[in-house]
Amino acid sequence: MLSIKNLQARVEEKEILKGINLEVKAGEVHAIMGPNGSGKSTLASILAGRETYEVTGGSITFEGKDLLELSPEDRAREGVFLAFQYPVEIPGVSTINFLKTAVNAIREYRGEEVMDAVSFLKMMKEKTKVVDIDETLLKRSLNEGFSGGEKKRNEIFQMAMLEPKLAVLDETDSGLDIDALKIVANGVNKLRSKNNAVIVVTHYQRLLDYIVPDYVHVLYNGRIVKSGTKELALELEAKGYDWIKNENTAV
Amino acid sequence: MNLKDLLLQEYKNFAPTASKALPIALREESMKQFSEWGIPTIKQEEWKYTNLKSILETPFKLNDSNGKAEGIQPYTIDAYKLVFVNGVWNTSLSDIKGIEAYATLKSISEAEPAVLAKYFNKFHPFQDGLQASNLAFAQHGIYLHVAKGKELPKPVLVYFLSDTTQGPILAQPRNLVVLEQNSSAKWIESFQSTGNDTSFTNIISEFFLHQDSRLEQYKFQQENDKAYHVGTSQVVHLEKSYSHSAVMTWSGALVRNNLNIHLGAEYCEAHLYGLYLGSSNRHIDNHTLVDHAMPNCYSNELYKGILDDQSTGVFNGKIWVQKDAQKTNAFQSNKNVLLSAKATMNTKPQLEIFADDVKCSHGATVGQLDEEALFFLRARGIPMAQARLLLMQAFSDDVLNKITIPELQEEITATIAQRLRP
Ligand SMILES: Nc1ncnc2c1ncn2[C@@H]1O[C@H](COP(=O)(O)OP(=O)(O)O)[C@@H](O)[C@H]1O
Ligand SMILES: [Mg+2]
């Protein structure tokens, strides 16, 4: 589904990604872990099409298409979804308001009929249950005055509404208490199917107790320095990131 | 012939026909001032950014009663309706049935001299040639007087149409609205035009608010791209009166909206809202004054603008807190979004505070659409143009929401959305 080959990227003069390789197949869940500043959010943002980053080498293929050629909106319409590490606040635009536009923009792209207001509301009601989000929140200005947990839940709610093929969750677990964490994990698990894939970017192994990954990768200093199965996350938890740092400064 | 000479000459023809409700001496005096001051130029501080020179040589026709009212785009709201064409009231198109139970409504030229002596031209914080000309020519306009304790059941909607199909036209309407104690009224001015020639409207509307009265007034500018408009709305407040003004401009070549509020007694409240959309070469200037003359009054002001192409915007917001006006609360905010590198905005808050126990704040911003928000919306599948539209609508909704008549709010919001669409 997703194939990243030797991806290199920089912002201004700073090299951030120095040759990332990653293969994600339908049905898989990949976790990307690593210390702060190693380039996890950069990778996630590049997948979604953020223009601040300049891709200087390598390729990203998604479902056979050159992802780097597509605008952010077309990537979303192809089925890529990014849950933002720092959810955006937009005064005057409610979640319902932009989601209605988004759902129909995606349907239009796929040649499907636009969704009428009644079906949209029905779908919304169902999905609010998945992440246990209060409907009144969805009528307010996006994320304005929301608690950290509400913002993250709102990201997952949007994911549930848009039903992406590939979901990239950037530290969706940070700042969540254990109950909220379970709700978020549950939302993600509901999306999992043999046709979809998830990339979970996280700092802590805690989330991976609830979203069990097929593969775990450690990103450090712009490279994937270790890959393994879910046991790698436990090892990291036990030994700490210094383990990775020491191993790699030695090289 | 330039505009100044044209007006001086026209006055000679007009004077013998002028309504006697207004003392001829006042007109003469005003015309003398006009001949001294002429049309405002950018050398005057209050006109520094707004240049009228491009209409100085236009061969305008004044108060042309041959104009046609066809082509007005009516609002669908239920209202008392009045129509002016080229500065002349077309009474045959009025629909004011039943208003007499609440108010007197007639031409300003038929107002009783005693009424004019009491309410007319009482507040003039700034004087210039255009105001002098308007006063000298004051003849066409509405005089509305709402009786004590009465609430007008419908808004008064006045269309000012410039019919330029037969050439350039100039209009100088003058309105007077008096709200007696405990009365309330909603007043809407809609400026529209037909034809593709130049028009120049130099209008003044005065509002006098007695104790405990409430005024809501709206001004919508939707003339053609050759329309010049200088309009002054003045609200004089007596005790505990309330005003709510919203001025919206999305058309015209050059539009200058003056809104002057005089809080002349205690416990008054004034809300001032503005929205302006600039595109192509449009120039939109909003000058506001809130004059806190007495203690314990509250004023709140929010003006927002979106400027595209080579359009220019001006905001000048004066707040005067006079030395007696203790316990004043005065707030002002002006926010602007520039969509193009060639668009410009001049914004200037001007606070002059002579009392010490006051709460005042002001803020002005000029920026672009939020890049982060745009990326977010696109990352959710919304195309760029639609994402921009969503953000622009959200930006303007803050002001559009201040239209308290629901159907009108819906109608103007839809019109504005159409304007914002790329
Ligand atoms: N827009 C930016 N401008 C400058 N530096 C950036 C920008 N985005 C990220 N960086 C830098 O790139 C590095 C990787 O950042 P990031 O991808 O956010 O790391 P992570 O998500 O793994 O914590 C950091 O050193 C960060 O400071
Ligand atoms: Mg990060």
DSSP string spanning B154-205?
A: S-EEEEEEEE-TTS-EEE--EEEEEE-TT-EEEEEEEEEEESSS-EEEEEEE
Angle between helices A95-109 and A117-131 (to 10 degrees): 110
Distance CA B262, CA B289 (A): 8
| Ligand 1 pocket member A42 (CB < 6 A) | yes
Specify the pLDDT at position A249: 67
CB-based contact B372 A77, cutoff 8 Å: no
Q: Would B73 be classed as within a structural domain? A: yes
Question: What domain range is B414 assigned to?
Answer: 370-422
B381 closest CB neighbour out of A93, A97, A106: A106
Q: Would B98 be classed as within a structural domain? A: yes
Whether pLDDT at A236 is above 90: no
| Same-domain status, B386 and B257 | no
Whether pLDDT at A162 is above 70: yes
Greater confidence (A234 vs A223) lies with A223
- Chain A residues in contact with B395 by the CB 8 A cut-off are 92
Q: How many domains does chain B have?
A: 2
Q: How many CA atoms lie within 13 A of A2 on its CB side?
A: 30
Specify the pLDDT at position B187: 98
Amino acid at B7: L
Q: Would B192 be classed as within a structural domain? A: yes
Distance CA B74, CA A20 (A): 62
Q: Would B63 be classed as within a structural domain? A: yes
pLDDT digits (tens, 9 = 90+) for A49-64: 999 999 999 999 999 9
The domain boundary residue, chosen from B237, B265, B293? B265
Question: Which of A12, A14, A200 should be mutated for ligand 1, with most atoms under 8 A from CB?
Answer: A14
Find the CATH number of the domain harbouring A59. 3.40.50.300
CA distance A53 to chain B (A): 13
> Cα of A44 to ligand 2 centre, how many Å?
9
Greater confidence (A203 vs A114) lies with A114
Specify the pLDDT at position B289: 98
| Same-domain status, B168 and B44 | yes
Distance CA B89, CA B272 (A): 28
Look at ligand 1, atom 17, and give the residue with the nearest C-alpha.
A39
Three-state DSSP state, A155: helix
Distances (CA, A) of B420 to B343, B415, B416: 15, 9, 6
DSSP tag of A86: S
Q: Would B346 be classed as within a structural domain? A: no
Mutation pick from A51, A73, A89, A141 vs chain B, by most beta carbons of B within 10 Å, is A73
The domain boundary residue, chosen from B231, B248, B265? B265
pLDDT in tens, chain B (422 residues): 899 999 999 999 999 999 999 999 999 999 999 999 999 999 999 999 999 999 999 999 998 888 999 889 999 999 999 999 999 999 999 999 999 999 999 999 999 999 999 999 989 899 999 999 999 999 999 999 999 999 999 999 999 999 999 999 999 999 999 999 999 999 999 999 999 999 999 999 999 999 999 999 999 999 999 999 999 999 999 999 999 999 999 999 999 999 999 999 999 999 999 999 999 999 999 999 999 999 999 999 999 999 999 999 999 999 999 999 999 999 999 999 999 999 999 999 999 999 999 999 999 999 999 999 999 999 999 999 999 999 999 999 999 999 999 999 999 999 999 999 87
Question: Which of A32, A41, A171, A221 should be mutated for ligand 1, with most atoms under 8 A from CB?
Answer: A41
| Same-domain status, B83 and B202 | yes
Query: Complex ipTM, two decimals?
Result: 0.95
pLDDT digits (tens, 9 = 90+) for B252-271: 999 999 999 999 999 999 99
Q: Would B135 be classed as within a structural domain? A: yes
| Ligand 1 pocket member A38 (CB < 6 A) | yes
B22 Cβ neighbours under 8 A, 6+ residues apart: B109, B113, B116, B120, B138
Q: Would B292 be classed as within a structural domain? A: no
Mean pLDDT over all residues of chain A?
92
Cβ distance B63 to B87 under 8 Å?
A: yes
The domain boundary residue, chosen from B265, B289, B304? B265
Nearest of A37, A10, A34, A32 to residue A21 by alpha carbon: A32
Whether pLDDT at A158 is above 80: yes
Specify the pLDDT at position A251: 47
Strand B227-237 vs strand B298-307: parallel, antiparallel, or unpaired? unpaired
Nearest CA in chain A to B393: A92
> Cα of A12 to ligand 1 centre, how many Å?
11
Question: What domain range is A185 assigned to?
Answer: 2-43+51-250
Whether pLDDT at A248 is above 80: no
CB-based contact A73 B381, cutoff 8 Å: yes
pLDDT digits (tens, 9 = 90+) for B48-82: 999 999 999 999 999 888 899 988 999 999 999 99
Q: How many domains does chain A have?
A: 1
What's phi and psi for B336, nearest 5 deg?
Answer: -135, 145
